[in-house]
Chain A
Amino acid sequence: MIARTTIERGLLWGTGAFLLSVPWLIPALADRFWVNVIAEILIWSLFASSVNLLFGYVGLLSFGQALFFGFGMYGVAIGVEKLGLGFWPALGLGVAAPVAMAFVAGVFAVRLTWHYFAIITVVFSLIFYFLALTMKPLTGGDDGISFTLPSTFRFGASEWGFAQEAFQYLFILFTVAACLYAMRRLLGSPLGKAFMAIRDNDVRASLIGLNVYWLRLIAFVIAGFLAGLSGALFAFFGRYASATYMFYHVSGEAVVWTIVGGAGTLLGPLVGTSLFIVIREVVSTHWQHHSLIVGAVAILIVIYAPRGVVGLWRDLLDRWSAPKS
């Protein structure tokens, strides 16, 4: 019988090979459109990973991650359009701004837990959403800011940038993969173990000498970084930033993707995001009310697979690979 780890490793390599081949494989088999859909799935799954880090590993349910996503988008758009920055400085601004914002919001938010924490994250998100909506000269309000893409690399006369579809896709893939790998290393480190100790029992964690407040703040800032980076990537991907992405509804979607995919598992957000975006893309062309299906699937998974799709998959593998008596 094949061991569970062998199956999982094989699946991981297979998925990796598929993702690497997307810019060439998809146009040969289907519409090019799907290359962009997969790129979008990768970006949103990075965003959902920020929810996963907080909820799945630290036990903090945030409905305010859209705030950092929006800051990432605006960092890039304002950087390119208003400050005339190139790709890398704008990307830097798109990461630095949400990290700084996450630190400021986190100082207040992580003093609270559970529904109080969820509410304060929504409040932060709403405050900046309405501010962005009204500050049209800076943010473009709900009209947003569109911008012309700067090139990413330039060697002599040759340029590479997001205007080239394959380059755009691979840049997003490598960035998301690097973040997930870094997250995996983090979760395996003493810091990651401390996060999980707090998730399991914060009182016990403090009694063994962990500084719960600071550890939660660190996790909050790292999650802000992930959400901000995904927003920065999405701004480059869409050539656009808008206040509408800062609305807490956007955060709510990431929470659903994470829970359905499997909170507390590294690849759960990727699985949940893929599932819902593919359903949406397949159904929405034929039926406008696709969100009803999304809602029904979410309810069924939460009831029948509370550990999400990844949890369900692992249970099935365990049952299959368990020695038969």
Chain B
Amino acid sequence: MENSNDPKVNRRSFLQYALAGGAATGVANLTIMKDLFAQAPAGPIVIGHHVELTGGFASWGYWHDKAARKAVDLINQGGGIAKRKVVLATEDTESNPASGARKLRNLIQRANAEFVMGSVHSGVMLAAIPIATELKTIYMSMGEATEATGSKGTRYSFRTGMDTYSIAAAGVPWCMENLGKNWTVIYADYAWGQSHFQETKVIVEKLGGKVVGNIPVPLDAKDFVPYLTQIPAETQVVFSIFFGSLSVAFYTQSKSMGIGKRAKMYSVSGTLEAIAPADIEGAAEGVYILENFPRMLKYKDDGFHKEHNKIMELDDIDAREAGSKRIMAKSHAWQSWEDLYTLKAAIETSGYKTRKDTEGVIRALEGLPMKNSLGHPQGDKLLRKEDHSGILDCYISLIENGRFEVKKKIPKEDLAKNMPVRHDLSKMPV
């Protein structure tokens, strides 16, 4: 035992040694532990969900959240992903790009999410992609802004669902053939509406039709009469793009003005998503809608769809939740379910173990085929290699007696043919 009176060790030098020793041990510990965890990924795999639980998109976000939770339970019951339990980390984007960007960092840097299932809100999604790319994290986009898998896409952004480009490519050719060639596009005057207008116009004109009316409607419009009266007399197809309450107001007022009697009405699933036609007192009767997951089970009548509906607690007619009045946002929320299985397939195929292996998952996702199954109840599809876009079956439905009655299935092969690759993301550096 050393003498505490030893001149070499006094109180001050002892404290200095203790502090230096502590610091050195701490640094060494941090370094060793860092490598240790980097090499031993046996723990759960964290997947982030960047979802709208509050704000303008909350009625859709509820379903995205529910679909993701149910799918995670299902995956974990089946042994997880690559034998690792899946932990779902959920963050509410508040339907706001500023919050969304922050919540994405939260998911990746705080919750340690290795992959993120992204937002259905285009603004949030586009704000998130540069951050996800910088943090080298795969982001499965769900919004419809075409930029996510186009001009603003990166190797890290993928979308199994649809964008304004694929929606136009899927629906317009059939409508041109069956509804008419003179189109008026009436839309909410913001990014989503304008994007639909631009993509639709291109395809209408390419197929020999004409856009005779272009009617942007301000977001704060209460009365549609001044806009509906602008629809030119020669219009054969009125293509409408509105969201939520604006959509209900449009359908109600256009019906009362008899627009549907002088032209065919066409729109996309987003305008009636999470809304039952019967609940708006027949205002949407006679409107053709492009869906990608039939609301009624009988139009994709297989065990996987049936089981999906059962797990999601939906009726098979209106997709209404048991014990509530909620209608599933069916043509969008399936992505939160299926994307987990898409990631599972890519992670397992690539042999992913840690974040260092993300490039392998990207390569596995590029061109990944998905088979109709419980993991992919929407049906067979392909995640196209070049533009990271989902190529999937779509359906033209007509609202009859308050129900979505499918009139035509648009096979994914036709969709692929009508939407040539515009951006090759697979050649971008990782």
Which A residues lie at the B interface, using CB under 8 A? 28, 31-33, 36-37, 40, 130, 133-134, 136, 140-144, 146-148, 163, 238-240, 242, 244-245, 281, 284-285, 288-289
> What are the residues of chain A within 8 A of B98 when measuring CB–CB?
238, 244-245
| Complex CA distance for A245 and B100, rounded to whole angstroms | 13
> What are the residues of chain B within 8 A of A245 when measuring CB–CB?
97-98
Residue from A40, A140, A143 whose CB has the most chain B CB atoms within 10 Å: A143
Is B30 interfacial (CB 8 A cutoff)?
yes
The answer to whether A239 and B96 touch across the interface, beta carbons within 8 angstroms, is no
Q: Mark B174-214, 1 if CB is under 8 A from A, else 0.
A: 00000000000000011110110000000000000000000
| Complex CA distance for A52 and B345, rounded to whole angstroms | 54
Q: Using CB atoms, name the residue of chain B closest to A238.
A: B101
The answer to whether B101 and A143 touch across the interface, beta carbons within 8 angstroms, is no
A-B contact pairs, 19 of them (CB 8 A): A31-B109, A36-B102, A36-B109, A37-B102, A40-B102, A133-B191, A134-B216, A141-B194, A143-B126, A143-B145, A144-B97, A146-B127, A146-B129, A148-B130, A238-B98, A245-B97, A284-B103, A285-B91, A285-B106
> What are the residues of chain A within 8 A of B19 when measuring CB–CB?
none
- Count of residues in B whose CB is under 8 Å from the partner chain: 37
Q: Using CB atoms, name the residue of chain B closest to A247.
A: B96
- Min Cβ gap B149→A in Å is 13
Q: A133-B190, A136-B191 are in contact. Are A242 and B97 (CB under 8 A)?
A: yes
The answer to whether A134 and B190 touch across the interface, beta carbons within 8 angstroms, is yes
Within B104-134, the residues touching A (CB, 8 Å) are: 105-106, 109-110, 122-123, 126-127, 129-131, 134
> What are the residues of chain B within 8 A of A142 when measuring CB–CB?
97, 122-123, 190-192
| Complex CA distance for A223 and B168, rounded to whole angstroms | 46
The answer to whether A240 and B130 touch across the interface, beta carbons within 8 angstroms, is yes
| Complex CA distance for A26 and B417, rounded to whole angstroms | 52
The binding surface of chain A is classed by DSSP as helix
Which B residues lie at the A interface, using CB under 8 A? 30, 53-54, 91-92, 94, 96-98, 101-103, 105-106, 109-110, 122-123, 126-127, 129-131, 134, 145, 147, 152, 189-192, 194-195, 216, 218-220
Q: A143-B191, A239-B131 are in contact. Are A31 and B102 (CB under 8 A)?
A: no
The answer to whether A238 and B131 touch across the interface, beta carbons within 8 angstroms, is yes
| Complex CA distance for A144 and B218, rounded to whole angstroms | 18
The 10 lowest CB-CB distance pairs between A and B, nearest first, are A141-B191, A143-B191, A33-B109, A239-B130, A33-B110, A31-B110, A240-B127, A136-B194, A142-B123, A32-B109
> What are the residues of chain B within 8 A of A242 when measuring CB–CB?
97, 123, 127
Beyond A140-B126, A242-B127, 4 additional contacts (C-beta under 8 Å) are A36-B102, A130-B220, A142-B190, A240-B126
Q: A33-B109, A242-B97 are in contact. Are A133 and B126 (CB under 8 A)?
A: no
> What are the residues of chain A within 8 A of B30 when measuring CB–CB?
28
Residue from A130, A240, A244, A284 whose CB has the most chain B CB atoms within 10 Å: A240
Residue from A31, A146, A163 whose CB has the most chain B CB atoms within 10 Å: A146
- Min Cβ gap A116→B in Å is 23
> What are the residues of chain A within 8 A of B127 when measuring CB–CB?
144, 146, 238, 240, 242
The answer to whether B134 and A239 touch across the interface, beta carbons within 8 angstroms, is yes
- Min Cβ gap A61→B in Å is 23
The answer to whether A33 and B189 touch across the interface, beta carbons within 8 angstroms, is no
| Complex CA distance for A148 and B126, rounded to whole angstroms | 12
The answer to whether A33 and B101 touch across the interface, beta carbons within 8 angstroms, is no
Q: Using CB atoms, name the residue of chain B closest to A126.
A: B220
The answer to whether B123 and A143 touch across the interface, beta carbons within 8 angstroms, is yes
- Min Cβ gap B325→A in Å is 21
Q: A28-B30, A288-B53, A288-B54 are in contact. Are A130 and B218 (CB under 8 A)?
A: yes
The answer to whether B101 and A140 touch across the interface, beta carbons within 8 angstroms, is no
> What are the residues of chain A within 8 A of B191 when measuring CB–CB?
133, 136, 140-143
- Min Cβ gap A145→B in Å is 8
- Min Cβ gap B118→A in Å is 13
The answer to whether A33 and B131 touch across the interface, beta carbons within 8 angstroms, is no
| Complex CA distance for A245 and B98, rounded to whole angstroms | 8
> What are the residues of chain A within 8 A of B102 when measuring CB–CB?
36-37, 40, 281
| Complex CA distance for A36 and B218, rounded to whole angstroms | 36
Q: Using CB atoms, name the residue of chain A closest to B143.
A: A143
| Complex CA distance for A115 and B54, rounded to whole angstroms | 31
| Complex CA distance for A31 and B108, rounded to whole angstroms | 10
Q: A33-B105, A33-B110 are in contact. Are A163 and B134 (CB under 8 A)?
A: yes
The answer to whether A36 and B105 touch across the interface, beta carbons within 8 angstroms, is yes
The answer to whether B122 and A143 touch across the interface, beta carbons within 8 angstroms, is yes
| Complex CA distance for A33 and B103, rounded to whole angstroms | 10
The answer to whether A244 and B101 touch across the interface, beta carbons within 8 angstroms, is no
Q: Using CB atoms, name the residue of chain A closest to B218.
A: A130
- Min Cβ gap B375→A in Å is 29
| Complex CA distance for A31 and B109, rounded to whole angstroms | 7
The answer to whether B219 and A146 touch across the interface, beta carbons within 8 angstroms, is no
> What are the residues of chain A within 8 A of B54 when measuring CB–CB?
288-289
The answer to whether B109 and A146 touch across the interface, beta carbons within 8 angstroms, is no
Q: A31-B109, A33-B110, A142-B191 are in contact. Are A244 and B96 (CB under 8 A)?
A: yes
> What are the residues of chain B within 8 A of A288 when measuring CB–CB?
53-54, 92, 94
- Min Cβ gap A263→B in Å is 23
> What are the residues of chain A within 8 A of B130 when measuring CB–CB?
146-148, 238-240
| Complex CA distance for A31 and B102, rounded to whole angstroms | 14
- Min Cβ gap A166→B in Å is 14
The answer to whether B123 and A144 touch across the interface, beta carbons within 8 angstroms, is yes
> What are the residues of chain A within 8 A of B152 when measuring CB–CB?
146
Q: Using CB atoms, name the residue of chain A closest to B108.
A: A33
The answer to whether B92 and A240 touch across the interface, beta carbons within 8 angstroms, is no
> What are the residues of chain A within 8 A of B96 when measuring CB–CB?
244
The answer to whether A141 and B190 touch across the interface, beta carbons within 8 angstroms, is yes
> What are the residues of chain A within 8 A of B122 when measuring CB–CB?
142-143
| Complex CA distance for A239 and B127, rounded to whole angstroms | 8
> What are the residues of chain A within 8 A of B195 when measuring CB–CB?
136, 143
The answer to whether B126 and A144 touch across the interface, beta carbons within 8 angstroms, is yes
- Min Cβ gap A23→B in Å is 13
Residue from A148, A238, A245 whose CB has the most chain B CB atoms within 10 Å: A238
